[in-house]
A and B are shown apart, each in its own frame.
Chain A
Amino acid sequence: MTDSDMVFVIDDDESVRDAVTNLLEAVNIRAQAFASTEAFFRRGRPDTSCCLVLDLQLPGTTGLQFQQHLHRAQIEIPIVFITAYGDIPTAMRAVKAGAIEFLTKPFQKADLLSAVYRGLEKDRAYLQQRAESAAMQAHFADLTNREAEVMDLVTEGLSNKEIAWKLDLSEPTVKIHRSRVMQKMQAGSLPELVRMADRLRQNPRQ
């Protein structure tokens, strides 16, 4: 648990909202309550690890709709759903759409906390991955065009000789480019570089 962890509680019912916030604070988790999804959306997610405890039945947008809304807005945030009437189909849909947990009110402290901890854990992993990916993008941007070409072909599995022939270069030149690429991308080994290339190909520019 780090000090920067934050849990956002969204429930239109004051009793539930206040109680959940109170419980989280009692176990040393910073928590902030919102009466509506709109109020939370205006605030936005912080760059530190966080997690959402979201009521499924909200006036206006339901919890599931808000989950989709966040997806479309490309806002990643782990969600723990809470509901007064848990029906299995809704729970399935929520969990399939990436929810951490689906708790029926009234829930036990252990269940809520375990879900919240898992949510925060997932968010930390996500943030770390996002930071790595951002760093990798930055490194990639540092490459010259020729180096980027070499990286592309190397990670496709071509040998230096083949690359030299393809790019009309001498083999020693390819070797120099290749070591530059390894250096700039901070890759320790060829397999690591291949993984980086895969990730870059998945989302070329963020």
Chain B
Amino acid sequence: MPRPKLWARSRPLLAFYGAALLFVGVSFLFSFLLQRFFPYPFLFFFFGAVMASAWFGGTGPGLLSVVLSTVLVDYFFVPPFNSFSISPSAEAYFGAFVACAVVASWVSSSKKKTEQALVQARNDLELRVSERTAALMKTQGELAHLSRMLSMAELTASVVHEIGQPLTGVVTNAQACLEWLSAGASNVEKARRSADGIVRDSTRAVAVLDRIRSLFRKSPPEKEWLNINDIIDEMMVLVRDEARRRSVQIHILLEQSLPHVRVDRVQIQQVILNLVVNAMDALNDSVIDDKRIFLMSRKNRHDELVIRVEDCGVGLAGELRERMFEPFFTTKPHGIGVGLSITRSIVEAHKGQITAAARPQGGTIVEFTIPIHPDDADD
């Protein structure tokens, strides 16, 4: 332990002994002044001084004030006055005083100790809770990331297609461009149009890559004011081809000019991705002829945006539907059951709600809300 630390510790301790002296001095003054109004010396101030000294300073200062009080009381208030000797008649009285002072000091200092221990325990607990919460948040973030990757893995073929198409455009247009140019100056206009095509298609490929990269990135939540319909449209680019391969039709019905909401883009994309991939899985069964998914956005009367995903699958029985947002609940042979529970925690982090209901004509309706004005502007 370095020296300055010792100094820092001893200084308040000295102050506590000083305080004990002060308390005893003050109570002596009061007792001395009040002496003439009472037939017996009024000594209760000393108990106060002892308790206060023990409370603030602990055992040491408490005992110091006990000793000081005893000496002062013996000298000034116990007959014969102004002497350290004690008359036999006052022995019991003086004895009782000393005993009370010692007990008061002990009770006070131990009460203080208990209280301090309690405070310490509470602080420790708070620290541990916040540590655990941080660890949990991190785990949840990683789980969300993992679940995102799994959803994306399901869409790999779709993603390959969405990048392959514009790339084909780029390569083919570039080759055409070279052909036009080598054919002579009269074809400059055609070559320029080919180059335009290259620019357009490569921009398209980059946009798809950006979307995928943002889903793969492990970034802390970041809320911005966004149009929910744009988020839906962006997601559909990644899902579109998968739907086609599974012969699923996705009907998108978006209410126009919805107000912007403050959301984390990647998280909301993940929610939509999860719900749409789930809906497609619900239609996987070959016995289902009606392979349609409805994806809708609207505003309700409670100033919330409602995003609804409907599938025309076989649906889930009531009790399974109630459990579908629980962690590790899954009906899929290779599912791990984290997608929908993460979906729910994301929606709840946006102060919204997610619900599932049976579709009257068969299938499942999953709906989530995002309040337009969340009550607290916390982040």
- A contacts, CB < 8 Å to B: 13, 15-16, 18-20, 22-23, 25-27, 57, 59, 82, 84-85, 105-109, 112
Interface pair B172/A109, CB less than 8 Å apart: yes
Q: Quick one: given A16-B172, A107-B168, are A26 and B161 in contact (CB under 8 Å)?
A: no
Interface pair B166/A26, CB less than 8 Å apart: no
Residues of A within 8 A of B170 (CB): 19, 106
Interface pair B176/A19, CB less than 8 Å apart: yes
* Nearest residue, chain B, Cβ from A109: B175
Of B157, B165, B177, which contacts A105 at CB under 8 A? B165
CA distance A106 to B245 in the complex (A): 19
Say which one of B145-153, B196-204, B318-326 lies at the interface with A: B196-204
Interface pair B241/A57, CB less than 8 Å apart: yes
Of B165, B179, B183, B244, which contacts A23 at CB under 8 A? B179
* Nearest residue, chain B, Cβ from A12: B244
CA distance A175 to B183 in the complex (A): 63
B364 interface contact, C-beta 8 A: no
For residue B297, give the distance in angstroms from its CB to the closest CB of chain A. 23
Which residues in chain B, 177-219, are within 8 Å of chain A measured between CB atoms? 177, 179-180, 183, 187, 190, 193-194, 197, 200-201, 204
Q: Quick one: given A22-B197, A105-B167, are A15 and B204 in contact (CB under 8 Å)?
A: yes
How many B residues touch A, CB cutoff 8 Å? 30
Q: Quick one: given A27-B179, A84-B160, are A22 and B165 in contact (CB under 8 Å)?
A: no
Q: How many A-B residue pairs have CB under 8 A?
A: 85
CA distance A19 to B179 in the complex (A): 13
Residues of B within 8 A of A82 (CB): 168
Interface pair A19/B201, CB less than 8 Å apart: yes
| B166, B167, B172, B201: residue with the most chain A Cβ atoms closer than 10 Å | B172
Of A25, A85, A106, which contacts B171 at CB under 8 A? A106
For residue B283, give the distance in angstroms from its CB to the closest CB of chain A. 16
CA distance A125 to B169 in the complex (A): 32
Of all A-B residue pairs in the complex, the 7 with the closest CB atoms, nearest first, are: A15-B169, A26-B179, A19-B172, A23-B176, A84-B164, A105-B168, A106-B168
Residues of A within 8 A of B171 (CB): 19, 106-108
Of B160, B173, B183, B241, which contacts A19 at CB under 8 A? B173
Q: Quick one: given A26-B190, A85-B161, are A16 and B169 in contact (CB under 8 Å)?
A: yes
Interface pair B168/A59, CB less than 8 Å apart: no
CA distance A82 to B241 in the complex (A): 16
For residue A85, give the distance in angstroms from its CB to the closest CB of chain B. 6
Of A16, A27, A108, A109, which contacts B165 at CB under 8 A? A16
CA distance A16 to B163 in the complex (A): 12
Of A26, A105, A112, which contacts B180 at CB under 8 A? A26
Residues of B within 8 A of A16 (CB): 165, 168-169, 172
Supply 14 further A-B pairs (C-beta < 8 A) apart from A15-B200, A25-B190: A15-B197, A18-B197, A19-B170, A19-B197, A22-B193, A27-B179, A57-B161, A57-B245, A84-B164, A85-B161, A106-B164, A107-B168, A109-B175, A112-B172
